Amino acid sequence: MDSFKIEGTRKLSGTIYVSGAKNAILPVMAACLLAPGKSILRNVPNLIDLKTMSHLLRVLGARIEHNGSTMSIDAKDVCFIEAPYELVSKMRASIYVLGPLLARLKEARVSFPGGCAIGTRPVDLHLKALEALGAEITIEHGYIHAKAQQLKGADIYFEKSSVGATINTLMAAVFAKGTTRLLNAAMEPEVDSTIDLLNKMGAKISGQATTTLTIEGVDDLFPVEMTMIPDRIEAGTFLIAGALSTDPVTVKNCLPEHLTSALDKLREAGCELETGEDFITVAGPKIIKPFNLRTLPYPGFPTDLQAQFMVLAAFADGVSFIEDTIFPDRFMHVAELNRLQADIRLERNLATVKGVKAFSGAEVMATDLRASAALVLAGMVADGITTVSRIYHIDRGYDRIEEKLNSIGAKITRENG
């Protein structure tokens, strides 16, 4: 298994470029199942998770090509209904095929997604919503089996804000007879971009950027071309690299308006920021101020940046408190950061981070996507050499992260294990 060997330095500067958003592309790839014909997606990076989704869509009968940053998905001959265990177990987002298969083929069999390093990851909200639309759902031999001759519009209230359940239900409801209203729907930019795609395909969805979405059922959707939004979590990850550096770093090809809560937190920590239409320049402070952070549904602070911001807090001049209300178990990075001589205490889903002057390089292990990115950031500023093992976790959601970070002065070498 590959690992990163990182030589610590505080001198990072220059411009680093953001790719298309993994969490926007995954649902959009599944949504292409709804439109017989060839859809074209642009600004699509080379990520393990996107390869897994491509494999799954091919198993269902789609034809996919990914050249450079352009992906084509031809869903004309989609006719199979089963998302197998070996693919779903590799990537939970495979659950996104459930809604489209039910809507288009009136039946789906999707392996019940397991948990992962950040939590049990239930899908009860997905299933409850599909049943409200009239689907008949049974769980048998580890598979979700959903059937519906004709889905019917309904009012659906989500007792928890869920990106996945909102998007899956949206995709199931596009052909439902009548009107569907989703109440307490998630508002993440990735939900928004999925709605943009579906409406471009001919769906009738309104209420974007609110927590109440209305879907008027239609009979057909048609293939389209669309450029994917930039990855706000990749951008936020790179901003932390700049915040830890003694020189300014510019993060390019991003949308500052998708990162409002994260930018507020950087300013609270003493960073100076300059933003434009598609860039953010960050200058780290000489003395990082401690800050408190609680993750919340969008537009609140994103749980996907919690681990990365913990690295910044670990160098603050004082004590910071970090609470994850979305994934209470998302703290696998704490023990690894403490191996680098951070001083972090954990009680349930609240981390108390006492700032230290320096990290001391060591061997650490990646456990999940965002925790791994945090370990890379930590290694970049640690004294001496840090080795991060199991970096396939990183390649799931970052396209050549070492090349991008080395372009602003990091010293990261990929070693084949």
Q: Could you give the CA distance from residue 346 to residue 362 in angstroms, rounded to a whole number?
A: 21
Cβ atoms within 10 Å of 64's Cβ, excluding its own:
20
Binding status of residue 109 toward ligand EPZ by CB under 6 A? no
Build a one-symbol-per-residue string for 283-322: x at contacts with ligand EPZ by CB under 6 A, - elsewhere. Answer: --------------------xx------------------
Question: For residues 119 and 202, which CB has a smaller minimum distance to ligand EPZ in the complex?
Answer: 119
Which segment (140-148, 155-163, 241-249, 267-275) binds ligand EPZ by CB under 6 A? 155-163
Query: 């990076």: which residue's tokens?
Result: 45
User: Going by C-beta distance under 8 Å and a sequence separation of 6 or more, which residues neighbour residue 411?
Assistant: 6, 7, 8, 9, 380
Build a one-symbol-per-residue string for 354-373: x at contacts with ligand EPZ by CB under 6 A, - elsewhere. Answer: ---------------xx---
Rg of the chain over CA atoms, in angstroms?
21
CB of 295 to ligand EPZ, least distance (A): 8
Question: By Cβ distance, which residue is nearest to ligand EPZ?
Answer: 164
Catalytic residue among 32, 79, 116, 254: 116
Element (H, E) at 23: helix 22-31
Binding status of residue 258 toward ligand EPZ by CB under 6 A? no
Q: Which long-range contacts (CB under 8 A, 24 or more apart) does 372-376 make?
A: 373/237, 373/307, 373/308, 373/397, 373/398, 373/401, 374/307, 374/308, 374/310, 374/311, 374/333, 374/337, 375/333, 375/336, 375/337, 376/4, 376/6, 376/401, 376/402, 376/405, 376/412
Build a one-symbol-per-residue string for 319-338: x at contacts with ligand EPZ by CB under 6 A, - elsewhere. Answer: -------xx-----------
* Binding footprint of ligand EPZ, residue count (CB under 6 A): 24
CB of 248 to ligand EPZ, least distance (A): 27
Q: Could you give the CA distance from residue 175 to residue 324 in angstroms, rounded to a whole number?
A: 36
Give yes or no: 254 in active site. no
Which residues, numbered 65-84, are part of the site for ligand EPZ (CB under 6 A)? none
Running DSSP on this structure, what letter comes out for residue 118? T
- The residues assigned a catalytic role are 116
* Site residues for ligand EPZ per CB under 6 A: 23, 26, 93, 119, 121-126, 160, 162-165, 186, 190, 303-304, 326-327, 369-370, 397
